[in-house]
Homo-oligomer: A and B are copies of this chain.
Amino acid sequence: MLSDVMEDYLKAIYQLQRETDERIKTSAIAEELEVTSPTVTSMLDKLEERGLVDREKYRGVTLTDEGETVALEVVRHHRLLEAYLTEHLDYDWAEVHEEADRLEHHISEDFEARVADALDQPTVDPHGSPIPSADLERPERPDGKSVTEYEEGDVVTVEEVADRDAEVLTYLADHGVEPGVELEIVEVAPFGMITARSSRRDGTVSLPESIAHHVRVAQPAEVDG
């Protein structure tokens, strides 16, 4: 019914939508999927025909409920796979993305269920990203904001590291930035770079703004104020 490529487009639109809340532009999808804009336009025609996206010419698209359901299914596959690979096949969190990206389109519902069972129905993947539930209801937006919204002196808990680059992830793990750790923000540079002290490592770690932006954190129970 739906091709792998169509699933990729829907997933891309879904993920872009989570970040911006606005209609998604052709060019944003093109960049995400590394294809040209005309290619995206023609695929959007097809997705619109099938009722998977709402479209306004020249103004971008949003997912329909049906399109979102498909996207959630793909995202569920992806994140379950990431979790399974780290838990049962000794993968590092930096390596799982690529493998999951290829496998996510090719597993059966049966496989999905067995993997979920083996992991005891996990709710987050190794990067702290929420795994959509089996019923594919629209998950609520996780609370917690980007670490870039905090200030010097704040102490926060890392909830999600939404980066996909293997080298970046390895660097972050080596410097104690992973879901679950506490960060004390020691400096916010004028150009956005954040320097923090991790509860898991000596010394400090510095995150350029583009990377810090993908680190979602929550403030632990406040000590004062």
| A-to-B contact residues, CB < 8 Å | 88-91, 95, 98-99, 102-103, 105-108, 110-111, 114-115, 117-118
Contact = CB atoms under 8 A, between A and B. Distances in A.
A111 B88 contact: no
Nearest to A101: B106
B89 A99 contact: no
How many copies the complex holds: the figure is 2
Contacts of A103: 103, 106-107
Nearest to A103: B106
A89 B114 contact: yes
| Majority secondary structure, A binding face | helix
A117 to B, nearest CB: 8
Contacts of A115: 89
A88 B117 CA distance: 11
Nearest to A4: B106
A35 B117 CA distance: 37
Nearest to A113: B89
Contacts of A107: 99, 102-103
